Amino acid sequence: MKNILKILLILLFALIVFMPADKLPPWLYWSLFVMMFGVLFLFYRFSYWVSERSIVEEDEIKFSTFCGKVPPMESEDLVRGRLIVTSSEVALYQKEDRKGATSKVKKVWSVPIDEIEQLSSGKVIGFRRGIILSLTGEREGKFTLSQIKKKRPLLIEALGWSDN
């Protein structure tokens, strides 16, 4: 499905760029833009979106949000997926790309809650804001999040901490 969406994106982009705008009716020309952005949205959903229902977890999920984990080396791309908090751990699940995989998602990062020393928010990479989990052993996990002011208290509550 992703390959079909890639081909559609290339075709729509080529039509918009190389087809003279005066050769098409204006409504058709501008609807190509809408179609291209619609296909781009579908490609994003098929490539990165992880729903809470697709995660099989033994413990109850107390908090869940879509985010991107900042990799150790800044030259790498963000690891996009769903960050969840259970009673025992914080984990990041990512969409599985392999065909024939037993699950649609895979756990790519996790840490027990008792290893988290501090939670702070701020700029995590470039202009992107997010949360920083300070872990034992001077390690840290950085995640880009939208709506930090709204989600931070919910995350603190899910971790079982008081908001001081």
- Distance separating the N- and C-terminal Cα atoms of the chain: 47
Output the pLDDT for position 4: 94
- Banded model confidence at residue 75, pLDDT cuts 50, 70, 90: low
Given a cut of 60, whether residue 164 has pLDDT beyond it is no
Assigned CATH topology for domain 52-159: PH-domain like (2.30.29)
pLDDT value of residue 84: 93
Q: 138: phi > 0 → left, psi -120 to 50 → alpha, else beta; which? A: left
pLDDT of amino acid 63: 92
pTM of the model: 0.79
Break the chain into its structural domains and give their ranges.
2-48, 52-159
pLDDT tens-digit readout, 133-157: 999 888 899 999 988 889 989 999 9
The single-letter code of the amino acid at 74 is E
Q: How confident is the model at residue 14 (pLDDT cuts 50, 70, 90)?
A: very high
Distance, CA of 19 to CA of 111 (rounded, Å)? 52
Render pLDDT for 94-129 as a digit per residue (tens, 0 to 9). Answer: 988 777 666 788 889 999 999 999 999 889 888 889
Mean pLDDT computed over every residue of the chain: 88
Amino acid (1-letter code) at residue 81: G
Spatial contact of 43 and 90, defined as CB atoms under 8 Å apart: no
Q: What is the pLDDT of residue 1?
A: 82
